[in-house]
Amino acid sequence: MGSKLIIETRNLSYRFGNQLVLDQVSLNVREGSIYGFLGPNGAGKTTTIKVLLNLLQAREEKVFLFGKDLNNNRIEILTGIGSLIEQPAIYSHLSGKENLLNRALLLSVPAARVHEMLNLVNLTEHADKKAGKYSLGMKQRLGIALALLHDPKLLILDEPTNGLDPNGIIEIRQLIRKLVEERGKTVFISSHLLSEVEKMVTHVGIINSGKLLFQGTIQELHNVSMKQLEIQTNDLISSKELLCKNGYQVEILSDTILIPYLSENHSAEINRLLVKHDHKVYNLTLSKQNLENLFLSITQI
Amino acid sequence: MQGFLLSIRSEFYKTRKTLAFLSAILLPLILCILITAGFYTHADKIMFLSAKMQWFRFSGAFLGVMGSLILPILIIFQTFSINNIEHRAEMWKSLFSLPIHKWSIYSAKYVYVVFLNALCITLFASFIIASGYLLNVLNPELKFNQFDISGILFKLHLKLFLASLGILSIQFLFSLLWADFLKPMGIGFMLTVFGIITANLGWKYAFTIPYTHPMLALQSMMKQVLNNQNGQMEFDLLSQEIYVSLIVAAITFIIGYFVIIKRIIR
C-alpha cells in the first residue's frame, strides 16, 4: 500500500446556517486503502462526501485530494474521482448500457469501455434492459460502473450497501476488493453499519455529531476494543449475585457472564471464588468486545 | 466549451426517445394535419379569396391558437420534461460531481430547451408552408402557389420564438426548483391565462408580463401590417415586448444558475 495521501482534510468544519455539521474533521486516506467512513445517520458522512466532491465548498484551503487543494483544482481532481452518492443516479427510461453510453459521451470515454464496465459489474446479460426495471442490487452495480467508467484513481461510495440483501452486500464487497486488488484503486466507503464494511476495509474513520472520533487501521480499532472475561456456569443468576456481592462489575449476555478483563491473576481469583462457593465453571475465556458494540460505544459518547 | 458541447450531445442522447423531444416534432405535425384537413374539406369557404388572403386565413388558423395558448403550454411542458428527467433520476448531484464545469451543465440544458423550442417553431412554419402547397396540389382551384409567404412566415415565427424566451426562462427556473408536475405546470398555466386576459384587455402594462409576449407580438405585427399604406406585409422583428422578453430571459437564466447550485446540492 502506498503512503501517499489521496484524501486529506485539515480541521475541516462546515456549517448549514448556524448548525455546525462538521467539526474540525481531519481525514487521512492513503493510496490503495479501503477506508470505511462510519457513523450513525446524521453524523456528517454525506456532508463530508459532498465537500470532498466540491458539491459543498469548504471556505478555506482545508480539503486536499491527490495532494492538491480542491477549491482551486476542481476539474483536475474530479477527473480522478468516481462517486456514488446516496442512491445510484440512473436514468430509468434508458437501458443500463445506454446509461453508460450517455456518461461515456459526457466524459469523452471510448464506447468500448462501456462493455468492459458492464462485464466488470456482471451486467452484460442485462445491458439492454431498462434500468428502471433493475433490482436494487443491479442498480447499485450500475452506479458503481458509472463511477468507474472514466477509470478514476479514487472511488467514493456513499452507503452503497444500503437496502441490499445479504447476497447483494457480498457482491458489492467482492467487487470493491477486486477493484483495489486488481486495479489499484483507493476506495472511500461510508456506512452506518460497521458489520457491513468490517470485512473489507483496511482503515476506519468513525464520525459522530460532525466530530471524527476514531481514525486508524482496522487492526488499531481491534486493539482499542476492550478485553472481557466470558464465563459460563451451571447457574448464571446466582453466579452473578455472588460476583456482584464481591464487588465485580458483571453483565449477563445470553448464556454468558461478562466481566471486564484486568489481569491473569484477577481471572484466577474470580474462578477461585466461584469454585469455592460450589459453582460449576464450564468455561472461562478471554474475548474482545464485539466491534459492533465498540462502534456503538464510540458513537454514543 | 468542450464540456458544454458534450453536455448538449448528452441532452439529446438521453431525451431522444422521450415526449420532451418528440413533442417538438409531433405537436406541429398533428396540428398541421388537423388544420389542413379542415381547410381541405371546407376549401369552398376560402376559394374566392386572393392568394395572399388565403395564406392569411390559413396561417392565421395556426397562429391564433399557437400564440395565445399552445406555445406557452408547450414551453411549460418541455421545460418540465427536460428537468424532470434529472429530478426523477436524482441526477443533479451526480452531474455536478463530474469533471465538467457546473455552468456548462446548466447552460447546455437551457440551450437544449431553447433549441427544442426553436425546432418546434421552425417546424410549425415549415409545415404551414408545406401544407399550403399540398392543399394546392389536392385542390388546384386554391391559390396558395400564387403567393410566396415563406419569408414573412419565418420572420413572424422568429418573432414568436424571441417573444417566448421570457416564458421559457421562467418555466425553466420553476421546473428546476420543483420536481413535481403540479407546481411548475399549475403556476405556468395560471400565468398563461392571466397573460391572455391582460393582453386581450389591452392593459397598458401587459408587456411587463412575459406570458403575454407571444400574443402581444402577434398583435403588434397585425397592427403594423394593417397600418401599412403600401399594402406590404412588413413588420418590425424587434418590438417592445421582444426586448422585455429577452431581458427577462437573460436575468432569469443567470438567477437560475445560482438558485440551482444552492438548492439542489443539499
Percent of chain B with pLDDT over 90: 25
Q: What is the average pLDDT across B207-221?
A: 86
A199-255 pLDDT per residue, tens: 889 999 999 888 998 899 888 887 776 678 889 999 889 999 999 998 888 888 778
A89 to chain B nearest CA, in Å? 5
Q: Same domain, yes or no, for A134 and A270?
A: no
A84 to chain B nearest CA, in Å? 7
Q: What are the Cα distances from residue A205, in Å, to A4, A39, A45, B73, B106?
A: 17, 8, 10, 52, 35
The CATH number assigned to the domain holding A285 equals 3.30.70.270
**Cell output for B123:** 417546424
> What pLDDT is attached to residue B266?
59
pLDDT for residue A1 is more than 70: no
The CATH number assigned to the domain holding A90 equals 3.40.50.300
Q: Same domain, yes or no, for A218 and A231?
A: no
Q: In angstroms, rounded to a whole number, what is the distance separating the alpha carbons of residues A190 and A218?
A: 15
Number of domains composing chain A: 2
Q: Same domain, yes or no, for A13 and A109?
A: yes
Burial class (CB in 10 A: 0-12, 13-18, 19+), B14: buried
Instruction: For an interface test with B, give the residue of A65, A75, A76, A106 to mutate (most B CBs within 10 A).
Output: A106
**Containing domain of residue A59, as a range?**
5-223
Of B2, B6, B91, the CB nearest to A105: B6
Q: Which of A196, A223, A250 is the last residue of a domain?
A: A223
Whole-model pTM: value is 0.81
CB A149 within 8 A of CB A89: no
Q: Same domain, yes or no, for A29 and A117?
A: yes
Q: Same domain, yes or no, for A129 and A262?
A: no
Grid cell 466491534 is found at: A291
Q: Same domain, yes or no, for A239 and A128?
A: no
Using the Cβ of A69 and the Cβ atoms of chain B, whether some distance falls under 8 Å is answered with no
Q: Same domain, yes or no, for A168 and A283?
A: no
pLDDT for residue B76 is more than 80: yes
Q: Same domain, yes or no, for A46 and A164?
A: yes
CB B92 within 8 A of CB B61: no
> What pLDDT is attached to residue A184?
86
Q: Same domain, yes or no, for A185 and A261?
A: no
Q: What are the Cα distances from residue A192, in Å, to A143, A163, B55?
A: 19, 12, 69
Give the nearest chain A residue to B88 (CA atoms): A91
CB contact under 8 A, A106 and B90: no
Using the Cβ of B240 and the Cβ atoms of chain A, whether some distance falls under 8 Å is answered with no
Q: In angstroms, rounded to a whole number, what is the distance separating the alpha carbons of residues A32 and A176?
A: 12
> What pLDDT is attached to residue B263?
63
Nearest C-alpha neighbor of A132 from the set B88, B81, B193: B88
Q: Same domain, yes or no, for A129 and A231?
A: no
What is the Cα Rg of chain A in Å? 24
Q: Which of A174, A190, A223 is the last residue of a domain?
A: A223
Question: Residue A298 half-sphere exposure, CB side, CA atoms within 13 Å?
Answer: 28
Percent of chain B with pLDDT over 70: 98
Kindly indicate the confidence band of residue B20, based on its pLDDT and cuts at 50, 70 and 90. Answer: confident
Q: Residue A13: what are its φ and ψ, rounded to 5°?
A: -120, 150
CB contact under 8 A, B90 and A87: yes
Largest distance between two CA atoms of chain A:
78
Nearest C-alpha neighbor of A54 from the set A41, A39, A68, A40: A68
Q: Same domain, yes or no, for A215 and A272?
A: no
Q: Which of A223, A241, A272 is the last residue of a domain?
A: A223
Q: Same domain, yes or no, for A149 and A278?
A: no
> What pLDDT is attached to residue B111?
95
Q: In angstroms, rounded to a whole number, what is the distance separating the alpha carbons of residues A259 and A250?
A: 5
